[in-house]
């Protein structure tokens, strides 16, 4: 309430002026009349209240007697300009009480924007998750919590980014048999419509408590095998994934980051129970398109369990089992998957695949029409496996990217690949780096490139080929890239001259 102003009357002010002739004569007549009538009794009249009029300053103005009034505020800093509008007061009240009484959808759009701009990013998710869709608000939530934010990795949505990173943080710090599972499951009703990917690069094992002594004192000579080892199973994702109806990507690493001096091999153990649970989880998730399980010591047996659950999966497009312990048996399972799925990307880099496994993959590749990328980097398929893959590329018409770096390949594989380059029109990228192609092998590849017009990338670093061959291959790749750029800019040049020009079209 504004302070009541105080009223103060000013003293009467008489304004002198220079008398004129007319005014002098008038004063004389008034004084004479006053003398003649002084003897007669005069009735008393009330003094009139003169309203505050503007002071006359024109020429010839006589003396004016005024009674002035002015308002003096009790608050010296009070000003009408700082009185907020009623709308602003209402918005401030809504913001202040938003947690207990969230009012947003009932407001006009411009008022909604003002409320959202003043809301705290620390409000409970139970209040904001399903009520606020404004991206600017969720951007403030993300930037306040994480100093580095790559929103492009989350579909360009700040709200999706917030819930995916928040869920990832809960999973990374979940300790089995210690953390309450409700911490994660209670988040499901709030994030089920926004989470598209789960990327977790750490799963903590259960806390290992020291085993109690058996029957009193235990001697130092007791065998360690007599004590039961605690279960090392990690958090099971089945209930969480089942509640995420739009999940498309699952990227997992079973291990511990920054363990420091507490390093133990058990911290990096992907158990069979973990494997069976994860296999059932991905099999039931019919929306899953990308499945990555890397750096988790997945061997042949566990790889077969996982791949068996992915056979005839309706949506899976990418499988990444790189940096594990998968050998030929696991590669054979992956080859079977190529024939029973719509897989487009297969990554088995840095495993233990040898020639028999490469033969299985080559056989499946020869009859496959979906796979566009195969990565076998850092295995040991040698020339036997490399030649098998080269033979498959004679008939394959869909593969665009092949990575065979670091596989002990040499000239025989290069010779067959040079033949592939002359007839294959789908491959755009080949990597043969860190092999032993040799001088003659480099010349063979250069000869194959002379007839190839589609290959855009050919990595031959550290492969023992001649510098001249590498340079000329690079020139051919530049020509192919320029031709591809021109095709992208001018698609009409693919038309025949007759179709483009028209029959007997006049010149000029």
HEC readout, 68-82 = CEEEECCCCCCCHHH
| Both tokens assigned to 494 | 């693919």
pLDDT of residue 7: 42
Q: Which of 317, 252, 309 is nearest to 289 (CA)?
A: 317
What is the share, in percent, of the chain residues with pLDDT greater than 90? 70
How far apart, in whole angstroms, are the C-alpha atoms of residue 382 and residue 354? 7
Helices (H), ranges, 372-466: 382-392, 411-423, 438-449
- Residue 458: exposed, middle, or buried by beta-carbon count in 10 A (0-12, 13-18, 19+)? buried
CA dihedral 293, 169, 276, 233 (to 10 degrees): 120
pLDDT of residue 72: 65
Q: Region 258-264: what's the mean pLDDT?
A: 80
For the stretch 112-137, pLDDT in tens is: 999 999 999 999 999 999 999 999 99
Q: Which residue has the tokens 């130092």?
A: 220
Q: Which of 196, 145, 207, 132 is nearest to 174 (CA)?
A: 207
- Residue 402: exposed, middle, or buried by beta-carbon count in 10 A (0-12, 13-18, 19+)? buried
If pLDDT is split at 50, 70 and 90, which confidence band does 387 have?
Answer: very high
Q: Is the pLDDT of residue 359 over 60?
A: yes
How far apart, in whole angstroms, are the C-alpha atoms of residue 267 and residue 90? 55
Q: Which of 385, 315, 324 is nearest to 349 (CA)?
A: 324
pLDDT of residue 502: 42
Q: pTM for the complete prediction?
A: 0.78
Strand 197-200 vs strand 249-252: parallel, antiparallel, or unpaired?
A: parallel
Q: Region 142-158: what's the mean pLDDT?
A: 95
Distances (CA, A) of 467 to 303, 385, 437, 460, 473: 41, 27, 13, 10, 10
If pLDDT is split at 50, 70 and 90, which confidence band does 316 have?
Answer: very high
CA dihedral 215, 220, 226, 231 (to 10 degrees): 100
Helix axes 355-366, 382-392, angle to 10 degrees: 0
57 or 330, greater pLDDT: 330
Do 13 and 65 touch, CB atoms closer than 8 A? yes
Q: Region 322-334: what's the mean pLDDT?
A: 97
CA dihedral 83, 85, 86, 91 (to 10 degrees): -110
Q: Which of 439, 475, 438 is nearest to 458 (CA)?
A: 475
Q: Which domains does the chain have, with CATH numbers?
A: 86-149 (no CATH), 348-353+361-489 (3.80.10.10)
If pLDDT is split at 50, 70 and 90, which confidence band does 232 have?
Answer: low
């Amino acid at each position: 309430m504004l302070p009541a102003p105080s009223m103060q009357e000013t003293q009467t002010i008489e304004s002198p002026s220079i008398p004129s002739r007319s005014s002098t004569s008038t004063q004389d007549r008034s004084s004479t009349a006053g003398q003649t009538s002084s003897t007669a009794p005069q009735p008393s009249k009330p003094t009139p209240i003169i309203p505050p009029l503007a002071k006359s300053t024109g020429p010839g103005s006589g003396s004016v007697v005024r009674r002035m009034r002015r308002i003096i505020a009790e608050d010296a800093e009070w000003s009408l300009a700082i009185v907020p509008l009623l709308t602003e007061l209402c918005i401030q009240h809504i913001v202040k009480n938003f947690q207990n009484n969230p009012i947003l959808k009932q407001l006009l759009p411009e008022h909604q924007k003002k409320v959202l701009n003043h809301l705290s990013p620390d409000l409970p998710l139970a209040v904001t998750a399903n009520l606020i869709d404004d991206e600017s608000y969720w951007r403030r939530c993300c930037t306040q919590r994480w100093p580095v934010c790559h929103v492009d990795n989350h579909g360009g949505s700040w709200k999706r980014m917030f819930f995916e990173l928040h869920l990832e943080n809960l999973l990374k710090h979940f300790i089995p048999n210690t953390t309450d599972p409700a911490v994660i499951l209670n988040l499901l009703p709030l994030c089920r419509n926004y989470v598209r990917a789960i990327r977790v690069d750490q799963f903590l094992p259960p806390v290992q408590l020291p085993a109690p002594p058996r029957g009193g004192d235990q001697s130092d000579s007791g065998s360690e095998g007599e004590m039961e080892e605690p279960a090392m199973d990690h958090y099971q994702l089945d209930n969480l994934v089942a509640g995420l109806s739009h999940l498309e990507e699952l990227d997992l690493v079973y291990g511990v980051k920054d363990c420091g001096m507490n390093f133990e091999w058990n911290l990096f153990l992907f158990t069979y129970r973990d494997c069976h649970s994860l296999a059932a989880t991905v099999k039931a998730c019919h929306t899953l398109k990308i499945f990555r399980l890397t750096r988790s010591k997945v061997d042949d047996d566990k790889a077969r369990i996982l791949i068996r659950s992915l056979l005839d999966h309706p949506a899976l497009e990418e499988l990444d089992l790189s940096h594990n312990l998968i050998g030929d048996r696991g590669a054979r399972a992956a080859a079977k998957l190529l024939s029973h799925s719509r897989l487009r990307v297969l990554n088995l880099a840095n495993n233990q695949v040898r020639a028999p496994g490469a033969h299985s993959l080559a056989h499946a590749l020869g009859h496959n029409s979906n796979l566009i990328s195969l990565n076998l980097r850092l295995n040991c398929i040698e020339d036997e496996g490399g030649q098998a893959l080269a033979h498959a590329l004679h008939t394959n018409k869909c593969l665009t990217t092949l990575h065979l770096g670091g596989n002990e390949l040499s000239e025989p594989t290069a010779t067959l690949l040079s033949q592939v380059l002359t007839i294959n029109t789908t491959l755009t990228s080949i990597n043969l780096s860190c092999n032993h192609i040799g001088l003659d092998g480099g010349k063979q590849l250069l000869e194959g490139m002379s007839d190839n017009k589609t290959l855009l990338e050919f990595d031959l670093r550290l492969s023992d080929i001649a510098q001249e061959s590498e340079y000329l291959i690079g020139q051919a790749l530049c020509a192919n890239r320029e031709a591809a750029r021109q095709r992208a800019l001018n698609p009409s040049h693919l038309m025949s001259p007759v179709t483009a020009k028209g029959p007997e079209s006049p010149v000029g």
